[in-house]
Structure 1
Amino acid sequence: MTLQVPWEAWSDVLVRLDAAVETTFRRVQLEVAPVPGAWERRPPAIEESLCRRYFWMAGLDAANRSIGTTAGLDDTHHQALVAFPVAMRAAPTCVPSGPGTFALAVDDGTGWAERALTLVEFLEASRENARFRLSTGIVTPRGRAGQWRAYGTGRLPFDAEL
């Protein structure tokens, strides 16, 4: 079965398929083209990298929930740059989970201390990375590097929808 979206559809398109019983779709291939291309089997690693161009989530690795390093902006704020595993198809949006699900470890001069974040602000994204502003609400020496980690339900979903 081939479903072709009209060329004048420049935004979301709803496709509704009614089935009387549970239906499974296999060998689905989505593509942007004026005409449907031939279905091609791709190795799972290539398929995964292509899918990551549309959606990727940071903070899922249960063993190492590290998201990235940070640089101090001022006495209470840090900036973090998150690099994507593959270039996204477009600059993605991101709605982080609540700030309490992330922590920042910073060397405050007496040793490394890890504290829960009180602010996680998505600033901007390119196809290659995203920039955030973070704060623990506690003064730390300006310019100190930190380590940003996710806890529990802490997630950064990046979405570059068609």
Structure 2
Amino acid sequence: MTTILPLAEIDSALVEELLDAAFGSDRHERTAYKVREGMDMLEGLSLAAVDSERQELLGTIQCWPVALTDEAGKMHPLIMVGPVAVHPDLQREGIGRAMMAALLKEIQPGGNLPLVMIGDPEYYNRFFGFSAEQTGGWSLPAPWEPERLLARIDPGVVVPEKAMLGPWKK
């Protein structure tokens, strides 16, 4: 039986082991890490999937405070989703989908910041409404594939067309 819990309840060493298994030990060099560099994860929106019978960590999803800095230097806050990690032996069993659904239940339409992620456009658009439609003019602090920079923005929320995505700094 899979249970979704706050990620803060999980030993950080187990989380690091899972992330290494899912993405490799060189994952810290990825662009997403540079976007959220120096930020603490948003504990209320970061989740874990656990096998409640065997007490094993199956997957994690983390969220981070980031911002778009527009051409005038104004910061527009967003929430970066990811990494979404599932143990390689358990992928394609719906664990990642269950974690994303649980996360999106926590995010109320119209009352939250836009979400951004780097991910598979077909999957995250089809199941969760993320797209690259509004991200074409955004820049990142390291190389990225523009079609994989995805956002989920509530109607009526305005984000800059041209901006740099990076850590949220007050």
Does the alignment reach a TM-score above 0.5? no
- Per the normalisation by structure 2, the TM-score is 0.26
Higher helix share: 2
- Larger RCO of the pair (alpha carbons < 8 Å, separation 6+): 1
TM-score normalized with structure 1 length: 0.27
**CA radius of gyration, larger in:** 1
